[in-house]
Structures are given as structure tokens and as C-alpha cells.
Structure 1
Amino acid sequence: MSFDLREHTADVAVEATGDSLDAVFGAVADGMAAAMCDEIPDAGGERFAFSVAAESREALLFDYLDELIYERDVRGILPVDNEATVRESGGEWRVEGSARGVPLDRVEARDLKAVTYSEMDLSETADGWHAYVVFDV
């Protein structure tokens, strides 16, 4: 699982790969954290869990990242070390996610306003999964 930050006109994008859908969701979320903070502490912060449901894989990725931004704002934390388990059942997609919440007063974080659908890609490749997500900064 890996990610790269990409420059995007007035925004920032995360391009990620993973050997599974679970891994690419986690990689995009870790890339989002990296877009907000240059140096993430290796320790500190409590793990928290959450669940999100949506009607499609792409909508689920959007809602998953949006939930992490919400958790950042409400809890005052930077969600890092993200883990995700993605499943589809009966036409509904669901992710069970968890992250370590580093208190924002322990890091120098930049504001990242929102996830966007602009140019979003979530696709299966010969090597696993690829995702490209643009964030409004």
C-alpha cells in the first residue's frame, strides 16, 4: 500500500495503490493525513473506530474520507495509521474504519477543507487497486 501527493490547480490530490480495496482506502486516508501534516508522530493519540455506508464504491470512498475530515474537526485530531475493511452486501457498500487520532495541538497541520469528486478514480488494476482523489484546500 502506498500513496503520493500530487499537485492540482489550487488543490491537492492523493494517488494511492494497494493490493486490496481495503488497502487502497487506508492508503488514500494516510495520504490525506500527509497532505495536512509534514511530520506525523509515531506515537500518541488514541485509536477510534467508525462505520460508513454508501450506494457505490466511489461514494463510499468519498464518504469515508469525509468522515475522517469530520472526525478531525469534531475531535480536534489528525487521523493517521488508517485501516479500512470494505464490503458489499445487497447493493450497499460499507467500510469499517479505524484511525489513530493525534491531537492537533501536537502537530503543525494545514487545513484541508473537503474531499471532492473532481477527477476521482477508484479502479481495479492487474496489480490490485488504484485511487486518485482531489481535496479542496
Structure 2
Amino acid sequence: MEYELRDHTADVAVAATGDTLEAVFAAVADGLAAASCDDVPVDVGDRFTVSVTAESREALLFDFLDELIYLRDVREALPVDHRVETIDELGSEGWRLEASAREVPLDEVDAREVKAVTYSEMRLEQTDEGWESYVVFDV
């Protein structure tokens, strides 16, 4: 899995790829962390879990990233080193994600504020090589 930060007008975008849906979700989340901070300490912060449900895969990606931004603000800690354990389709109930991340206290990093995830130009698609995503964040 990998991500690339891209300039986007007054915002920042993350283009990500992964062999699996879980891998591309984790790569986009890592891209969100990279958009927020250049250098992340490797030996600081505890892991925490994240559970999200939504009506579609795209909404699940949006809600996952939105939850990470919310948790950053509430916990005053930057989520990094994302692991998406499972993404399950629940039939008529939508989709569910189970993930974890390491939280680094904001006073340990020089963080830029990423205000929100947007649906603007959001793309999530399966390819012959795996999965690709493109997400724009409001900064």
C-alpha cells in the first residue's frame, strides 16, 4: 500500500493504492497523517481502535477519515500508523470497518491543521492491480 500527497487548489489531496480494500483505506489514512505532519515520532503513543459503519464503500471511507479527524481534535493526538483489520459488507445495512491507529500527542509533533475530508472528486475503485482512491481534504 502506498499514498502520494498532491496539491489541490487551496486543499490537499491523497492518491492511494492497495492490494486490498483494507490496504487502500489504511493508505489514505496514512496520507491524511502525512498531510498533517512531516515527521512522526516512532516510539510515542498508544494504539486505539476505530469502528465505523456507513451505507456504501465510499461513505465508509469518508466516515472513517472524518472519525480520525474528530478523534484527533477530541483526543488532541494525531492518529498515525493505521491498520484496517476488516471491511465487511452487511447487506442492506451497509458496510462496517474495524481499524486501529497509534495516537501521537499533538504537543509531540509540528502538526498542520487538516480541517475536514470532502466528497469533492472522491474516487474509490477496484482495478486489475487492486484498489485506488483519491480523496481531497480541506486545509
Taking structure 1 as the reference length, what is the TM-score of the superposition? 0.98
Give the equivalent residue in structure 2 for 1:32: 32
The CA distance in 2 between the partners of 1:79 and 1:9, in whole Å, is: 25
Give the equivalent residue in structure 2 for 1:89: 90
What is the one-letter code of the residue matched to 2:113? Answer: D
What is the one-letter code of the residue matched to 2:47? Answer: R
Task: Show structure 1 runs of 4+ deviating over 4 A.
Answer: none
Correspondences of 1:18-97 after superposition (within 5 Å): 18-84=18-84, 85-91=86-92, 92-97=94-99
The CA distance in 1 between the partners of 2:65 and 2:100, in whole Å, is: 12
Out of 122, 125, 135, the residue aligned to residue 123 of structure 1 is 125
**SS of residue paired to 1:119:** coil
What is the one-letter code of the residue matched to 1:86? Answer: I
Q: Per-residue deviation at 1:97?
A: 1.3
**SS of residue paired to 2:42:** coil
Out of 99, 107, 110, the residue aligned to residue 108 of structure 1 is 110
Q: Per-residue deviation at 1:86?
A: 1.1
% identical equivalent positions: 67
Q: Per-residue deviation at 1:87?
A: 1.0
The CA distance in 1 between the partners of 2:41 and 2:2, in whole Å, is: 18
Q: Tell me if 1:15 matches 2:15.
A: yes
Taking structure 2 as the reference length, what is the TM-score of the superposition? 0.97
CA-atom RMSD in angstroms? 0.6
| Matched pairs, number | 137
Gaps of 5+ in 2: none
